[in-house]
Amino acid sequence: MKAPGWFSRLSRRGIASNAVEREAWRRLDASIVRYRGEPVGTIASGDGDAPAQNYDHVFTRDFFVSAVAFLLRGEHEIVRNFLRVALDLQSADHHMDCFRPGQGMMPASFRVAGTGAEERLEPDFGEHAIARVTPIDSGFWWLYLLHAYTRASGDESLTKSDAMQRGIRLILELCLPPRHEMLPTLLVPDGAFMIDRRLGVYGHPLDIQVLFHLALRAADGLLDVPVDDPLRRAVAERESHLAHHLRHYYWLDMATLNRIYRYQVEELGADAANPFNIRPDTIPEWLFEWMPRDGGYFAGNLGPARLDVRLFSQGNLLAVLSGLADREQAQAILNLFESRREDLLGETPVKLVFPALEGRDWQLLTGGDPKNAPWSYHNGGNWPFLLWLFTAAAIRAGRREFAAEVLDAVEERLAAEQWAEYYDGRGGRLVGKEARLDQTWSVAGYLAARRMLANPDAIDFLGFGAPSTATSCDAGSRAPA
């Protein structure tokens, strides 16, 4: 008796999936970098035809994706070694020289140079990057990875070592001190994180604010000090205020858009309904029609008279995974991805930013950057590495079937097109014009997603338990210290 047609299709897909997964693990294992015989990270790309740039470096943000895949496979050594090496390279000296990395900064990347007895590590804090952009996100990814490693491995001795505790403190002391602002968000220049080119993200971009929140939650659990320690109290207070600020002021759904549509401007005082003086006519008309009734997302940026309504996928998906998005917001974000699948996932998930900057906006906000042309690279390109985060967020929101459907539809194409770095076009149909092949985090993102779908409970090491309790930090209603 022949198997039903659906069973045959599932069987064929299962065989193909296993073959893709085996080949992906082979590529990830081949990308491992060793220092003095020990695995310490993975290179950014194994594309032998790529120009000799920095794709042979171990990038902090890229390795996080590889680390998730390794931890899901039960491999802890490479992650532990990376955490130690990055800590050794952390800028630890206090100085007043503006041409040197600030105390506490983690490198954007490092490479192993020399051989034998001359082998050494060479960090890059942005000195060699295009446009000399510095990595504001590296320390946050490192803190989050230390949290994930500790939970996955059960190894608390590494976290409690004097060196690790000092490294955690240096990162916090870099980003927590008072500055020329009275908001809980972190001021960020253009190009200082994954989007390392001009894209109009200066100010308080969502991706960094969510990463900052993640880092604070991680640090609160990693600091080996009493709960009344001044630094730990400062961490808890800032985290709470930041969570409230993001959930309240960055959130967009139909109810919020209706409220903004009726905003008055030039309001004064703590009770202003429009505290950032947003002009309703600056909200593009397409958004009112595009937003589903049951959908919503966190806006890309917020500041005086500025609400950037672009959707940044990484920040929104991290908000779901970390618990920053409350239960209703998490469901609304996944509803949006499902309702607007063609725009936000396309043929090769996941769209990094939607919509793209075009025309005069592209010329002014990107400086006419040809690599960030509309619907390419950071400006509306599709990045397969985000599959791990989309899958984790979907599982967290109880939408595992949606994530499985998305991954099943794309895995054979990713393998056939040699794990490209990114895809171009509105629907992500074209391999990126300058995309590197054999991109390690594209491989690792797929592998992590596949492992999560096989064992949904495995994502627990990426979470923090119960969501944080956010309190208001508005003028006149600050939470008590």
Reported as a single tens digit per residue, the pLDDT across 303-355 is 999 999 999 999 999 999 999 999 999 999 999 999 999 999 999 999 999 99
Average pLDDT, the chain: 91
Determine the pLDDT at residue 180: 85
Of 105-114, 138-147, 396-405, where does mean pLDDT reach its minimum?
Answer: 105-114
Question: Given this model, what pLDDT does residue 110 score?
Answer: 95
**pLDDT tens by residue, 245-267:** 999 999 999 999 999 999 999 98
User: pTM of the full predicted structure?
Assistant: 0.92
pLDDT band at 396 (very low <50, low <70, confident <90, very high): very high
Cβ-contact 351, 344 below 8 angstroms: yes
Confidence of residue 475 (pLDDT cuts 50, 70, 90): very low
Q: Is the separation of the CB atoms in 125 and 99 below 8 Å?
A: no
Contacts of 313 (CB under 8 A, 6+ apart): 344, 350, 351, 352, 353, 354, 386, 389, 390
Query: What pLDDT is attached to residue 311?
Result: 98
DSSP codes joined into one string, 182-234? -SSS--B-TTSSSS-S-SS--BS-HHHHHHHHHHHHHHHHH--S-TT-HHHHH
The conformation of residue 105, written as its DSSP 8-state character, comes to: P
In CATH, the architecture of 29-462 is Alpha/alpha barrel (1.50)
| pLDDT score recorded for residue 97 | 64
Q: Is the pLDDT of residue 471 over 80?
A: no
Q: How far apart are CA 151 and CA 67, in angstroms?
A: 13
What residue type is assigned to position 372 of the chain? Answer: N
Q: Counting every residue, how long is the chain?
A: 481
Instruction: Give CA separation, 289 vs 260, 284, 285, 292, 341, in Å.
Output: 15, 10, 7, 8, 15
Sign of CA dihedral 294, 317, 348, 371: positive
Tell which residue, 268, 405, 298, 278, has the closest CA to residue 349: 405
Q: Which pairs with CB-CB distance under 8 Å and at least 24 residues apart come from 260-264? A: 260/307, 261/288
- Of the candidates 262, 217, 211, which has an alpha carbon nearest to the alpha carbon of residue 236? 217
- The count of other CB atoms within 10 Å of the CB of residue 93 is 9
pLDDT tens digit sequence for 412-428: 999 999 999 999 999 99
d(CA 200, CA 230): 36
pLDDT score at 253 = 98
Task: Look up tokens 């895995």; give the residue.
Answer: 411
Residues pairing with 297 in the sheet: 252
With tokens 């759904």, the residue in question is 253
Mean pLDDT of 158-172: 96
**In 19-131, at which residue ranges do the beta strands (DSSP E only) sit?**
32-35, 38-42, 58-59, 109-113, 120-124
Question: pLDDT at position 52, please?
Answer: 59
CB 334 within 8 A of CB 393: yes
